[in-house]
Each structure stands twice: as structure tokens, then as C-alpha cells.
Structure 1
Amino acid sequence: MSSNSVTDFKLRELSKVLKTASESSQGTEYHDVVVNLCRDVENALEYDLGSKDELIERLTEIGLALSGETRLERLLEMIVDEARVLTRADAGTLYIVDPEGRKLEFSILQNDTMQVRMGGTSGNEITLPPVPLYANGNTPNKSNVSSYCGLTGETINIADVYEAEGFDFTGPRKYDAATGYRSKSMLVLALKNHEQDIIGVLQLLNALDEDGEIIEFSPDIVDIVGSLASQAAIALTNAQLIQGLKDLLYSVIQSIAAAIDAKSPYTNGHIERVVTITMMIADKVNSLKEGKYADVCFTDDELEELKLAAWMHDVGKISIPEHVVDKSTKLETIFDRAEMVDARFRLIAEIIKNRQLEETVAALSNGTDPSKLVEIEMRYAVELEQVEEDRQYINSCNIPKEFMSDERIARVEEIASRTYESNGETFNWLTEDEVRNLCIRKGTLTDKERSIIESHAAITHEMLSRLPFPKRLSRVPEYAAGHHEKLDGSGYPNGLGGDDLPLQARIMAVADIFEALTAKDRPYKKPMKLSQAIKILGFMVKDRHIDEDVCNLFIDSGLYMDYANAELDPSQIEEEE
């Protein structure tokens, strides 16, 4: 059997496979695509398209590649690349119909002769204005060949744009005049989704023969490219749906994060800032060529996984009462009970004044010597002065500025042990719960309240574990819940440490702590100087609470200063005297 016979046999076998596929896909969005491709392969048997083996191989590769690519930018680039390979086109442009269906937006622009690659993954942004599908309101714009195709869905095959009639080729001619290029043959096809809606336009320019001469696009290959366009449209629709789901996921996540931040006027923006710092560090890790992380390179999926974890790291706080999260003073619950304690001390002062008045009236009734009245006044004045001093002292203990030493705690307990009478009942000056809160040695939280807040990490893991993350994002719950773990194993919720603590969680820990230290909107502390925050990070490294390498990378690379310049008040950045 000759080489050509073998090739023809392979094409016929491929045709049989495609026919079977078309029957099995009956009623699905892929049916018409498979049928058209089957027809085009059979047509190819009747024409000399060069290497039929190569055609089979290319069609197989294209089908697999398009169906397997979910990255939208890469897929768009592949569509133009593959169409140009099949047609030997020197240039190609892919337009995408905008969501309103009013214009064609440039997506990919390629020209080998001019060495131009724009859009997609090239990194070169296309700045050309979109092609309007309608002019002067709702008048269809059929003068431009790409908009005509986008409106009608017709395939246009032009041998020479300089001799063609019916379309305005002013644009290509101006481009040629400015660059010295010669636009000649053109093939324009519509990309239609499974509902036959036009979602894009593929424009190919200057087909080349084996000698590099510009020729007309062969009618023999137009149907094959048409089938490619149909396959591409289905793949593009799927990619857009996937991207839409991603966008929806991020929108929901960011809305939840905003709702969590909005629960507290004091932490508004915390989550977004932690995301910023986290991704700054991760990107820096990826750029390193030497040092500890030279061999570490997060993939796109791993970066997305980390970013999602950073957005969701505080989702468990949605179940934590606001008065615990925002507790700015020791006596605060749903309101600051310092007002009640203050009113109680004033009541005690009034009770003392009443006793003084009663004793003075009794002394006057008995004809007491005036010196006795002076003694009564002085004695009660001392007692009232002590009440006022104790009131101010309790108020100072309520505000977490000074560490509660044993001596300070003893004084609180002594004040609390005193009693007063009201309406025939006896009460302590302070309740047990008030004493418990006022004697918090550092900060504003009792052990119980701290446990409630710390539970947000476990709740975060529980909530996120219920979400059906795809395999490539499966560790989002682990990373999100791990930002309070410590290298020495003393963190929460699982007490992980050492090698059990993944790098992603270590990065988030540094980001979360640095943001909290430098935040300028916390009610329980003044905005911290940048230099002081760096010192505290150093102490935490020494205590093995955070990762030394991650912290050093954040500081030594200057990332901390980039963040500070963008987010902090200038007064925080100034060096302390």
C-alpha cells in the first residue's frame, strides 16, 4: 500500500470515528461541530492539502488542546495560532463580541512579517479601539469586513483586499502605508457557540505558499478552518463559563470578606490588606534566584489557592460576637460597663454625703460643739476623696494601657470587697465579673473571650471544608485556618509547628501580624510606628512564633516599606527620635 493510500485510509478511519462520535453526541452542543468536522475530513480526501498525515495529526492535537485549555487568554491565543498553522496565514486577529453585543473588541493580534504579537499571554496590551457593530445608534455596521461577519455570521474569503468591493478597507491600507506591509488575501470567519450566537470573529491575513508568496486562501481549507472555528467557539464558551464561575466565586468571597470587616468599624479593610501583603511575599518568593527560596516557585494554581485562603482567612469571625471582636476596654460587652461602674461610684459618694448630712443634722439637734461639725465634715471629705480616687483608678484599669501587676490587682480586689447599702440591700462595690475583667493583666480579653476569638480559626476550617473546592484548590481551608499557627507549636487551632506548617501558612501569619501591628484604625491602641512593628516581628522570630526566613524576606527585600508607603500614615513611617 502506498504512502498516500495509507494516509487516505487513516483519513477514512478518522471519518468513521467522527461519524460515530456525531451519533453519540446527538442532541448535545457538540453534535454539529463533530458532524461538520466529519464532513470536512471526508472533503479533504478529494483535495491535495499537502501532507494528510500532518493534517490528521494537527486536527487531533488541536481538538485535544482546545478542549483541555481552561485559561482564557491562552485559549484565545491558541485559536489564532492553530488557524494560522492550518492556513499558513502570515497574520491573524481575533475579536470578541462585548457583553452588550455592540462591538468587537481586539483580543489577539499577530503578524509574523511585522514581528507583532499582542494580547493573550504576550504581555503586550492591544490599544486599538474596538470595531463597532452598530453605527449611529442601531444601524448595523456592514461596511467593515469584521463587523459584517460579526453581524451576519457569513464567511468571507477575499483574494485581494485592494481589489475587493463592498467593504471599507481604509484601515488595512493605512496600516500598509505606515508600515510598508502589503495586506492582500483575507479570510474572515465567525465563532458561534452552541446556541448559534456569534461570540467572536477570526480574521486571517495573507495565506502563504511553500515559497512564501502570498496566495488566496484555498476554498479546500476554508471548511476545515470553519470546523476549527466551531470547535474554538465551544471551547471559548466553556472557558468563559469557567472564568465566569471564577469571577462569581471571587465576588462572593470578597463580599463575605467585606461583610466580616464591616461587622467592625475598627477592622474594615483588614482582610484586603492581608491579601495584599500575602501576595507581595508570594510573588517575591517566585522571583528569587538564590537563597532559601531559590528552588520554590508557586504555580498559578498555587498562587490562586493562597490568594483565596488569604481572602477567607477570617471567615470564621462571622460567628464571633462583635462585642468580643471589638472589645476595646476590659468592661465592654455589648456596651462599655464602665459607665455603670462610674455611676455606682457616684451613687456611693451620694450615700456617703447623705450619711454626712444625717450625722450633721443629728449633731446640730443635740447642740454639738462647732468643732465636732468640722470634724464630721473633714472625716467625710477624706472618705469622699478616697471614693473619687478609687473611681478614677478603676477607670484607668478599664483602659488597657498599663500592665496589671499583682499590686494593681490587689487594689482592685480590695476596692471590690467594700460594700454599700441601697434600698435595704447590701452590695459589693464591684461584681465578680467586673473584677475578673478589670484584672486582665494584658489587653482586654478574658481567657474565655480569647478562646471564643481563637475559635474563629477552627470555624474557618470547618466552614471552608464544606465547600467543594476543586483539587487544585483543595488546601484553601488548611492555609486559611493556619495563619495563627506558630513554629514552636503553641499556636491554634491545631498546634502545628516545624515541618508540619506549610510555607503558605507561614507567609499568611507574617502578613496578618504585620497588618495588625501597623493598622491605624484600632480602637485599643495608637497607630504603631513602623520601626516598632519591625522590632516586634524580630521578637516573634526569636520566640519561634513566626518564620525567620519569611520575615527576613519581607524586611530585607523592602516589601514592608512598599506596603507602608501605600497604606500607612506618614507619621508611622518616620523614624522615632
Structure 2
Amino acid sequence: MASVIVFSLVISTELYQKFGSDFLQSLSLQVFSVSHPDQLNNITADIVLLDASLLALVDRSYWSDVNPSCITIASGQYLNADFWVPDCWERSAVEKIVKVALDQIRHGKQIDSLEKDIALSKKQLEEINHIGIALSAEKDLQRLLGLILECARRLLGCDAASLYLIDKADNGVKKLIFKLAQNGSVSYAFEEHPLNLDKTSIAGYAVLEGKELNIANVYDINDLYPFQYNKSFDEELGYRCISMLTAPMYNYRGGVVGALQLINKKANPDVLLTSAELALQHVVPFAESDLQLLRYVASQAAVAIDNAKLIDNTKKLFEGFVNASVTAIEQRDPSTSGHSFRVAELTTQLAVALTRSNRPRFERICMTEKKLTELRYASLLHDFGKVGVSERVLVKAKKLTPPQLEIIQYRIALEKERTRNLWLQRRIDKLYGLDESKKGLNCDLELERALANLSEMEAIIVAANEPTVLPQSATYDLERVLKYPFETISGFNSTLLNKNEFLHLSVRKGSLTEDERKEIESHVVHTYNFLKQIPWTEELCGIPAIASGHHEKLNGSGYPLGLTAEEIPFEAKIMAVCDIYDALTASDRPYKTAVSGEKALDILLEDARAGNIDQDIVDVFVESKTYDCLGVMDEATFRGMGMGRGHLINSVYGLGSRH
């Protein structure tokens, strides 16, 4: 029932006596009679009816400040009054004037009320617009949930809020997850926890029934409902929950995704409800208009949550794709297992260290979360192109493959056996007098020399097969082996080494021939071509160029494009340093021995002085001890990520550009 507004009227004692005590009784006015202007100081009036002489003594400026909407009526001509009536007017005429003034006041108050409503609606509309923009802009799910509660509390002027989401347990049964709670008056440690999705809770009822619940007092819920308010929170923290508004959240498909719950609407939003007494004093019920606002917020929230979940799931899907790709690549060469993950960790850590180094050159570098994500993905996928390199070359530990070396060793063993057979035949011929020459007199010594020569050549081949720096003398020895005649089982004349085997064994550094080295280097081109096929988002579109640029050198001597310092992406320069460090220090390489961290840093500094990699980046890498981050990632950590320690090395020791 609407309350009746009673207006007040101040009338001079003289006029009051003139018109009688029953004057204006029909208008339900609260009447005060005054005989002196000072009596007006403590009265708040809507209408003032004074004789002109008394009204002339009133301080109008003061009166206007205290009673800005008051209407003045003067009995007798007085120019500063809102209305005036001649002294000769009868009581009935004056009553009509008062009624007109009263109508004007009512209309004025109605206009004021409408203006306040319009201002409030405008403010709410602006807030709703702000909420829509804010929710659509936030992509992180946890931050989004907090933002939803903050916006709802601010919009509806309530003290606390809670948010629930539907989720599936491992067994496929739906659960209601109490995701987040906020309270403006009391602090407490909230932990997300699951609830049974049934009608015994207020949020569960709203979700299952798809209905809003506007409860004026949660301590006085009708017994017809299957739920009651859980008072344990109030009892534990000395809080008092009174009014509550709960609404289900519908996504764009019309499905309920959860519930949004507002608690304790406050008459004054700035009041803190730190006690039950204050809550009972300042909390008011939620209005129907609040429910309309909550519906809008809940709808916006549901769409935003769906979008955030979709983005989150897409990220997880892409993370899975990246990890699976890296694992697949590294399984082709188990000795490199873990390299891509370590390079990604080193690169992102170094990028952050650069921004904190206080070096003028790096002051304008802003490594945002998005930029670090792009850099991390590029680092993880920098060797993706190895899927286009033949496995024979990719895993080649020595200059010859084991089958190739076995064939050569078989030839030497066969040649030794032939030499022994020839010696035996000569002995037999001597015994039977079939050979009268003097050749057989020293055949034992010749046999020993021939077998020793073949063993020496085998040792030369085995030594040359190692992926170390080949001395010039070894090349001469190989040429001698190349000229040693050998007859195949089929009777063809050949040599112990064929030209292709000689070519492989003559590699001066590492284990790869020139063609094989080019094939290994082609992995960078494959990386770019493969990654270019992926429809990257705007935040990740730099990945192909970054991932394929880590073998470029500042002086233009790198590959595949021979880019110079100005042309190489800055992120690729960072990755190049980390890639080389991990290549140098990684263990369990079948063709090289890992160097110490200290030696690796010296090699990086030497490489920087040679103009191959960025000197400033190397200096920050050394000074910040970025490499220490790998010490935190122990063997168990790597294995838990599908990794093991290891990697392939590069030009410093001439072992091929495999990292």
C-alpha cells in the first residue's frame, strides 16, 4: 500500500485567526501558525501563507536554501511572493489559491521523482553497457567470474554475491560447483567446492527449476519449499544474511549453465554490514526491477562464461596439439627428448629477464602474457620441421651407419681370411714341391705384416668414423685404404672403401656430409612451411617467422635465408641463445659429450663476439642466470612432461646443425 504524503503549511497567526481553525482542513495539511519571522527558522514547510508585512521581514535567501521547493503566498500585494491575494478576498478564494499551490508542489515532486528515476535508469544503463563490454573483453575464466560478481554487486547495490556452475564429475554425473563468492563486509578464505545438484539448496533449486527466487528473509523461508538457508556461514563469521536474489544463467542455446546469487541489498551501498544488528538495520528486500537487472547480468554472464570456456578448451586443445607434436618429433630421435621444452622454458625466462635488465635498449620491450605465449609456442615448435628430414640423417650418430661399417669390416675380415688362405696354399705348395720359388721362405713374416696392415686400416676407419675433428693425416690414411684392392665375392675388382664411404669418412667435422648437413638445415624451411599452414590468431601470427629464425646469424652467415641483424625477429634472437646453450649442455648425445655450463657460457660469449648472436642478450642471459631455471626442472619433471634430458649440437664443435 502506497504511503500518503502529508504537506505542511505555515500561516501567519493573524490570517489563521481571520480564516478560522478549520481553514484548509479538507486538504489534509499540517498547519503551523507563526507571528514572528524567527519562528520560521526551525520549520520546514511546503507552503507559506503570510501577510505582506510579515513576509517582508523574512530572509528569503536563507529560507530558499532551507526550503528550496517552498511556495510563498502573500496576503496583500508583495512582488517577491509566488502568489498573492488581495486583503479583500474571502476564505474560499484563498483556499483555491492554496490548492493550486499544492497541485504545483505535487507536480514538482513527481517531476523530481521522474528525474531521479531517469538518472538512475541512465546510470544503470551505462553500468549495463559497461558490464557487457567488460564481460565480452575478459577471456580468462577465473577473472571473468570475479568480474561478474563485482559488476552484479555494484549494479544492484548488494553486499555479497555467489556464483555456481554446472560441471560433470569423472563418472559423468552432473555436479553444482560453488565457484566463487564475494562479500563486501567480511573477509574469509573461500575454496571452490562441489555440491549435489538437487533441490535441497537454493542455487540447486533455481538451476533445476529454471526459476528466479526473490527471498526477503532467508531465515523465514516458507516450509513448502524443499530448501532452507544454511546458517553455518553466518554463525561462523558473525554475518547476517537477510535478503537474497537468485537467478539461473542461460546460455545462447537455452541451457542452464549455473546460477547467480545476490545477497543483502543495502539501502545505502556504502554501509558495511559487520554485525547482525547493522544488517537488520540497513538491508532491504530486492525489488522487481532488481530481478530484471539480474536477469540481464545472468544472461550476459552465461554467454561470457560459455565463450571463456570455449577459449579455454581451445587453448587446452592447442596445448595438447603442440605437446603431442613435440613429443612425436622427439620420439623420432630419442636423444633429443626434452630439448624443445627446455628451450621454451629458457626462452620465456630470458625474455622476462630482458625487460627487467634496466638496459636502455630493452626499456621499450613489453613482454605481455600474449607475447610470451607466442614466444613459448614458437620455441616449442622450432624443430617441428624435422618431420620432413629423413630419420637416417636425423639420428645419424657417426659418419657411417652401423650397417655400412659392418660391411666394411666384413670386407676386411674377408680380406684377412683370403690372406691366410693364400699363406696356407703357399705352405702346401712348398711341402709338395709345387712351388720352387723362394717366395715362401718368409711367408710367416709377410702374413703377419699383411694382417697387421688390414687391422691398421680397420682401426683407421673406426677412428675416422667418430664425429670428431678429423686431422689431415687421417685423410691421407683413408686415401691409402681407398686404394687397397679388394675382389668382391662376385669376382669384380674393387677396393676396401668405395667412393661414397670415403666421402662420409672424410667429413672434417661432425658426422654429416655436405648433402646431409643441407638436409638437416632444411628442417628450418620445413618448420616455416608447416607452421605457415596453421590459421594462427592475430596474437600468434608471428610464430612461423620466430620459430624458423633461430639459426639465422647477425652477420648474415646463418640459414635458411641468411638474414642480417635488422631482419631477424627479436624473439628469434632470444631463442637462438637458449637453443645453443641447451645444445651445448645437453647430455647423452651418441656423437658428442656435453660441456659444462661454465664452458657453454664461454662459447656463447665467443659466438657473440664473432657477430653470430646478440651480445646484449647473451650478457643478460649470463648476468640473470637464466639457465638456472633448468635446475628446477629435474629428471622426474621432464619425464612427467613426456621428456627426458638431451639434445643435438651445432657448429661450435662442427657436429652438424641439428638443434
TM-score, normalised by the number of residues in structure 2:
0.72
Q: What amino acid is the match of 2:448?
A: A
Aligned mates of 1:565, 1:47 — CA distance in 2: 61
Residue 410 of structure 1, aligned match among 476, 482, 485: 476
Residue 109 of structure 1, aligned match among 181, 194, 219: 181
Name the residue aligned to 2:211: 154
- 1:493 CA displacement: 1.4
Q: 1:161 to 1:474 in 2, by over 3 A?
A: same
- Check conservation: 1:518, 1:568, Cα contact below 8 A: no
Aligned mates of 1:568, 1:522 — CA distance in 2: 16
- Check conservation: 1:488, 1:544, Cα contact below 8 A: yes
Aligned mates of 1:104, 1:535 — CA distance in 2: 58
CA RMSD of the aligned region, Å?
A: 2.6
Q: What amino acid is the match of 2:301?
A: A
Aligned mates of 1:275, 1:151 — CA distance in 2: 46
- Check conservation: 1:278, 1:507, Cα contact below 8 A: yes
Name the residue aligned to 2:516: 449
Listed one character per residue, the Cα deviations across residues 381-437 of structure 1 (whole Å, up to 9, x for unaligned) are 111111111111211111123x21221111111111111223432111101111111
- Check conservation: 2:156, 2:293, Cα contact below 8 A: no
- 1:288 CA displacement: 4.7
Residue 229 of structure 2, aligned match among 150, 153, 169: 169
Whether 1:241 aligns to 2:299 is: no
Name the residue aligned to 2:92: none
Q: What amino acid is the match of 2:611?
A: R
Aligned mates of 2:354, 2:262 — CA distance in 1: 41
Whether 1:190 aligns to 2:244 is: no
Whether 1:375 aligns to 2:436 is: no
Q: 1:201 to 1:47 in 2, by over 3 A?
A: farther
- 1:178 CA displacement: 2.8
Listed one character per residue, the Cα deviations across residues 316-346 of structure 1 (whole Å, up to 9, x for unaligned) are 11111111111101012xx541111111111
TM-score, normalised by the number of residues in structure 1:
0.82
Aligned mates of 1:419, 1:152 — CA distance in 2: 94
Listed one character per residue, the Cα deviations across residues 199-258 of structure 1 (whole Å, up to 9, x for unaligned) are 122121111113632222222220221122112212221222222222222212221111
Q: How does 1:352-501 map to 2 (within 5 A)?
A: 352-366=419-433, 373=440, 375-401=442-468, 403-422=469-488, 423-501=490-568
Whether 1:218 aligns to 2:278 is: no
Name the residue aligned to 1:144: 201
5+ residue gaps in structure 2? 1-113, 272-281, 637-644, 646-659
Whether 1:516 aligns to 2:574 is: no
Aligned mates of 2:493, 2:384 — CA distance in 1: 46
Aligned mates of 1:258, 1:518 — CA distance in 2: 20
Listed one character per residue, the Cα deviations across residues 526-563 of structure 1 (whole Å, up to 9, x for unaligned) are 33322222222222222222222222222222221231
- 1:190 CA displacement: 1.3
Name the residue aligned to 1:297: 366
Aligned mates of 1:127, 1:487 — CA distance in 2: 52
Name the residue aligned to 1:528: 595
Q: What amino acid is the match of 2:252?
A: H
Name the residue aligned to 2:396: 327
The structure whose Rg is larger is: 2
Q: 1:152 to 1:288 in 2, by over 3 A?
A: farther
Aligned mates of 1:289, 1:153 — CA distance in 2: 57
Name the residue aligned to 2:609: 542
Name the residue aligned to 2:619: 552
- Check conservation: 2:354, 2:617, Cα contact below 8 A: no
Q: What amino acid is the match of 1:131?
A: L
Q: 1:461 to 1:428 in 2, by over 3 A?
A: same
Q: 1:466 to 1:372 in 2, by over 3 A?
A: closer
Q: 1:548 to 1:456 in 2, by over 3 A?
A: same
- Check conservation: 1:285, 1:297, Cα contact below 8 A: no
Aligned mates of 1:283, 1:247 — CA distance in 2: 24
**SS at 2:553 equivalent:** coil
Whether 1:181 aligns to 2:253 is: no
Listed one character per residue, the Cα deviations across residues 288-335 of structure 1 (whole Å, up to 9, x for unaligned) are 556643432212221121122112111111111111111101012xx5
Moved more, 419-428 or 346-355: 419-428
Q: What amino acid is the match of 1:406?
A: Q
Listed one character per residue, the Cα deviations across residues 342-368 of structure 1 (whole Å, up to 9, x for unaligned) are 111111111211221222222222277
- 1:69 CA displacement: 3.5
**SS at 2:164 equivalent:** strand
Q: What amino acid is the match of 1:478?
A: A
Q: How many residues align?
A: 507
Q: 1:95 to 1:452 in 2, by over 3 A?
A: same
Q: 1:468 to 1:97 in 2, by over 3 A?
A: same
- Check conservation: 1:105, 1:131, Cα contact below 8 A: yes
- 1:269 CA displacement: 2.0
Q: Percent identity?
A: 33
Aligned mates of 1:153, 1:286 — CA distance in 2: 51
**SS at 1:162 equivalent:** helix
Moved more, 555-564 or 346-355: 555-564
Name the residue aligned to 1:26: none
Q: 1:473 to 1:522 in 2, by over 3 A?
A: same
5+ residue gaps in structure 1? 1-44, 119-125, 134-140, 573-577
Aligned mates of 2:238, 2:549 — CA distance in 1: 60
Aligned mates of 2:301, 2:115 — CA distance in 1: 25
Name the residue aligned to 2:145: 76
Name the residue aligned to 1:92: 161
Q: How does 1:27-38 map to 2 (within 5 A)?
A: none
- Check conservation: 1:520, 1:568, Cα contact below 8 A: no
